[in-house]
Each structure stands twice: as C-alpha cells, then as structure tokens.
Amino acid sequence: MFPELIDTRPLRRAVDDGLGWVVRNWGGELEAAAYPLLMLLNWIERLLIATPWWLFIAFFVGLAFVATRNWRLPLVVFLGLIFLGLMQLWRDAMITTALMVAATLTAIVVSIPVGVWMSRSERVRQMVTPVLDLMQTLPSFVYLIPTVMIFGPGKIPALLATIVYASPPLIRLTDLGLRNVDPAVMEASRAFGTSSTQRLFGVQIPLALPTILAGINQTTMMALAMVVIASMIGAGGLGYQVLQGIGRLEVSRGLFAGLGIVALAIVFDRITQAYGRRIQERIGVGEVR
Amino acid sequence: MTEHGQLHDAAPAAVPDDPAIVMRGVTKIFGPDPEAALALLREGRSKADVQAETGHVVGLDNVSLDIARGQIYVVMGLSGSGKSTLIRHVNRLIEPTAGEIVVNGEKVLDMTMAQLGDFRRNRIAMVFQKFGLLPHRSVIDNVAYGLETRGVGRAERLEKAAHWIGIVGLSGYETSRPRQLSGGQQQRVGLARALAMDTDILLMDEAFSALDPLIRSGMQEQLLELQSSLNKTILFITHDFDEALKIGNRIAVLKDGAVQQVGRPEEIVLNPANAHIEEFVRDVNKARAIHIRTVMEEGAFEPCEMAMPADARCEDVLPCFDQHEWVGVLDGTGRQIGRVRARQVIKALARYAPSNGQA
C-alpha cells in the first residue's frame, strides 16, 4: 500500500464545494449560455422528424450518388436507412442523427478556428495539445457528472459531452492539414504579395480541405460513438433503446438499436469519406488519413 | 594567356549608374542566435569554424552584387552554396542577418510589412524550381493569381492571363489543372504567371532545373527570345554551368555562401578565378560559351568572304573554317571590326584542357 502522505479529504471537499458553488451561483447563467445549443439541437430534431422518411432517404441516396457517381454507395445508404425504418427505429434514428449533426456542426465552428490558431503558433500548439489529449482520454463520465449537475439531466449535457469528445480529431486534423500544405506553394503565394489572411483562405484551407474533411468524418463517428452514453443522461434516440435493452435484458431490442447505430455510422462515414476523396481528386494533393 | 589582352573589349559597362538590384554585404546566418555567429564570422572565422563552434549555418557570407537593368544575371552554385537563399533576399522572403538590399532605388529592408506586400505585388515577380502552382486552380486562374492579389478586376486579369498563356505556348490548356500538365508545361504556367505581373524585375530560382534536358533547353531558348523583346532584369539561379553560360549576360559564381567570381560568361571560362570554378570550366562546352569577339584579331583587315556577328559563339563559326581560312567579325552595324581563324578558336577552346597541365 502506498503510504498516506497527505490528507486528500480537504482537497476533494474543495473540488466538490467549488462545483456546488458554481452550480448555485452560475447555474442559471451557464444554462442560458448553452441555450442556443439546445435551440439548434431541437430545431434539427424537429426538422428531421418532420421530414417524410422517403424524402430523407431520397436525399441521402442522392448525396451518395453525387459523391461517387456510381450506384454502389447509394445502394448501401438505401439499405441502411430502410433497415432503420423496417425495425421501427426511424424516430429514434432521427433523434440520434440530430444530436450527431448538432454536435458536429458545433464542433466544426469551434474546432476549425482552434486548429487554424494552432497551425500558426507553436506556443498555442504546445498549450492546446495536452488539453486535446485530456479531452480524448478522460473517461467521459468524469465530465458528464459535473455537466449534469450544472445543467440538470437532459439534452444539453449530452450535447456538450458529445462535443467535448468529438472535437479533438477535427482540431488535430485541421492543424495537421494546414501545416502540411506544400511549402513551395505557400512561398509562391507569399512572393506574390499576399497577406496571411489571403494565404489562409486562398491557399491553405482549400489545400487542407481533404484533411479537414477527414477530421469532420472522425467527428461524426465519435459523436455517434457517444450516443449510448449521452442517452444515459436524457438524450433519447437509438442509444436509449440500447440502454433499455440492457436494463430489461431484452437482447433483441439492444441488438437492433445497436445495429441501427452501425447503419447510421456507415451512412455518414461513407458519404463524408466519398466527398473527401472527391475534393482530394480535384486538388490532386494532400492525403486523407 | 597573353594573346587575350583584348578580352576586355567594348562590352557594355559592367555596372551602370542605376542598377536594378544592389546587394551590399548581405550575410545570412541560420540558427537561434545569428548575432553571435555573425560576430565570429566578422572576426574572420571560416564558415566551417562558425558551424562547428555555434551550430549556426552560414547561408550567405558578405555578398555584394550589382545587377544592371535589362540583363540576365545568373547566380551559379552547387547545392548548399546559398544561391536559393540569395535570391530570396531580393524580395525578402528571407530576412538577412546583416547587409543592405536596394531594388529599383528602394531599400527593401526598410519596408514595413504593408510596403513589402505592395512591393511584391507590383515591382517583382518570381518563378520557382518546384513551380509553386496552386493545384486547386485552373491554369488561367494560376496565371492571373498575381494580378488577383494586386486587385485587378476579373475580366481584365483573365484577358491578360490568356495573353501570356498564348505567349508561353499553352493556349488550349486554360481550364486544365496544373497536375494534368507535364513538368515543362507547369513551368510555362509559372513563367506566364510571373510575366503577367509585368514587372521590371523577374526572379527565377532554378526555374528549369526540374525539367528534362530537352525541355530545359527549349525553355532556355524561349526565355532568351522573350527577353529580347521584354528587356527585363532577370536574376536567374542555377546549378548548371552550361545553363549559366547559355543565358547569362553576367554570371556570379557562389560557393559556401560567398561570391567567388563575377563576370561575363567568357571571362569566367577563360579566366576562372580559382580551382573551384575551374572545375566547372573543365566540363563545359567552351565552344558554346566563348563569343568570337573575345578571340578575334582586332583591327581593320580587308573584308573577309565570310563574316559573323561579334556575338556569335565559337561553335557557330567552326563550320565556316571548312571553306574559309579567315572569318570576319562584324559589330552591330555590320562593320567588320576584326577577324578570326581556326587556330585562334582552337587555342581558346583547348586552353584549360587538363592535358595542358594548367591550374
């Protein structure tokens, strides 16, 4: 046994009391600050649920066709979505999709600027990298509990936890993509008197787009991986079905909902990857993963 | 060496009053603390000493050049000689550790970032060894890139770009992507992009080095042809001595970041300043490097049956000796200013052959 050198109880109490103090004094403000996120999530959810199933399927099959110009991927997308419908999982799938889309959109808005900032300053990179490591390795329950205490169980903590978990790959890949832009092209651009903003938007981001898209793909996948955990704190959707299946020892319910998550993952993964490849082909440089 | 007293002939003055580019004592040291290394270098330590002692790399060592307007000035050196570092100082892609750089009368190092941007957009254009084309843009948008950064309207810049695409011989490829083109074609795009800027000064950093020999030769000829009508000041970097001789009006040889010799091509071929330069000269096609002007017997002789302009190279005049003993040398106006015969040419060509034991 490791000898007890210090008394950790005061430290723990300080952390617990500190959180309690934040919840008492700042709970309302924090909830108000997160409200736009909830609005976004609810709006997407309502939109998806209101969309007729055939329109949803037609849209994604069309998207898959535009991305690949052949019928294999659209067929896979079609079968995956039909499976969700036949298994009576459509509504849950829409709720899960909404959570994933809302988390991905928020992650994009936050992560890409952070990635840009990291790519331009070695110091920022040194500071952000350990934070990203922490976000990816800290068990999500650890930050789930305080978020639930602050926001109460429901969609906001589920969404926040998903964003925290899903953002790091996008930040890393944005940084990587921007740094890996051919230095010869960057230098040529500089020699023609461009400002650093012109180089960022005119050269770096277009050339890093395949890598950034790979990051978005990773983010969607990680967001989907969080749905079961998110459903524990009230996110609903397919994850909730899995959770109920476990609770009631209904293997079939858990299995079908789980397969539904896989179907969604395949649909979104393949479509985003196909677009990544397409952009990469158009540019003819850079690498997707 | 004695017969070549007439080497310094009536060529244009080496340094006119108003050079396009002046570099004075430009020194570049790479590393975290260049000042300390600079102090050592100023004490007269060698580049190798400085590197061993401080870990700093001396890129350029006290380089001073005067580059006159309207000429192709070639900086020649092997890899690691600092030639690419040198050219990047002219538009300040690299900041020198010490020295002064004046372009078109403006002190480049005193410019603010905004002025520097303006200078790069309007006064100077550059062609790169690795082309540096934007892969996500079409050929015409690449050529128009410089004009776009200058703020020229879309219609006007596309029109100008189309014009230069035609001149470099890429008409029909306007909407292609750079990666669909061959290396030579890509560099033509790079050249058109720089020419479209319509600047007096053109920087070419090993512009043809990445190309196949035949393509390279074609590009060199095209550059000379363009230059005869454009009369730009071209600073051309190369590691290829033959290329330097072919296109250069003046050549500076760089080694270990320091200028070894500056002169007209034939001056360097006939009088290499040191063993390093002589090594290049040994392998060079001297018949192409030496103008007949430099080997001729100067004076008013009776007109020869056959005559060549003074700029003609020895290789041009050699076939004439098949039929004629003497070949007249004409100046720009067609007046005979001297004559050559095979012996003189052969002597000039054989001069530095290793068998002569000359060092």
> Cβ neighbours of residue B105 under 8 Å, at least 6 residues apart?
B18
Same fold, B2-123+199-284 and B288-356: no
Q: If we measure between CA atoms, which residue out of A96, A103, A236, A124 comes closest to residue A169?
A: A103
Q: Name the residue among B122, B131, B179 with its Cβ closest to that of A284.
A: B179
Look at A284 and B134 and tell me if their CB atoms are within 8 Å.
no
> What are the boundaries of each domain within chain B?
2-123+199-284, 288-356
CA B185-B191-B192 angle, 5° bins: 90
pLDDT at A117 over 90: yes
Contact B119/A at CB under 8 A:
yes
> What does the pLDDT read at residue B196?
92
pLDDT at B208 over 80: yes
What domains lie within chain A, and their CATH numbers?
A: 10-283 (1.10.3720.10)
- Sign (positive or negative) of CA dihedral B35, B40, B42, B47: negative
Q: Which of A205-214, A225-234, B124-133 has the lowest mean pLDDT?
A: A225-234
User: In angstroms, what separates the C-alpha of A106 from chain B's closest C-alpha?
Assistant: 28
Contact B91/A at CB under 8 A:
yes
**Per-residue CA distances from B80 to A130, B73, B180 (Å):** 38, 20, 32
Topology, domain B2-123+199-284: Rossmann fold (3.40.50)
- The pLDDT > 90 percentage for chain A reads 69
| pLDDT tens by residue, B13-43 | 444 467 899 999 999 999 888 888 888 888 8
**Per-residue CA distances from B263 to A260, B244, B253 (Å):** 77, 11, 9
| pLDDT tens by residue, B135-168 | 989 999 999 999 999 999 999 999 999 999 998 8
CATH of B288-356, one of 3.40.30.10, 3.90.1280.20, 3.40.50.720, 3.20.20.70: 3.90.1280.20
Task: Please state, in angstroms and rounded to a whole number, the distance separating the CA atoms of residues B129 and B108.
Answer: 23
| pLDDT tens by residue, B91-121 | 999 999 999 999 998 899 999 999 999 999 9
pLDDT at B8 over 60: no
- Sign (positive or negative) of CA dihedral A11, A12, A14, A15: positive
Under a CB-based contact definition with an 8 Å cutoff, are residues B326 and B341 in contact? yes
Look at B135 and A184 and tell me if their CB atoms are within 8 Å.
no
Rounded to a whole number of angstroms, the CA Rg of chain A reads: 22
Q: Name the residue among A182, A187, A195 with its Cβ closest to that of B117.
A: A195
- Sign (positive or negative) of CA dihedral A221, A227, A228, A230: positive
| pLDDT tens by residue, B56-85 | 888 998 899 999 999 999 999 988 888 999
> What does the pLDDT read at residue A65?
94
| pLDDT tens by residue, B179-203 | 889 888 999 999 999 999 989 999 9
pLDDT, averaged across chain B: 86
**Per-residue CA distances from B303 to B6, B10, B26, B256, B298 (Å):** 20, 21, 50, 49, 13
**DSSP per-residue letters across B220-238:** HHHHHHHHHHH--EEEEEE
Look at B117 and A194 and tell me if their CB atoms are within 8 Å.
yes
pLDDT at B266 over 90: no
Over residues A119-125, mean pLDDT? 93
pLDDT at B354 over 60: no
Task: Please state, in angstroms and rounded to a whole number, the distance separating the CA atoms of residues B131 and A198.
Answer: 19
> What does the pLDDT read at residue B293?
81
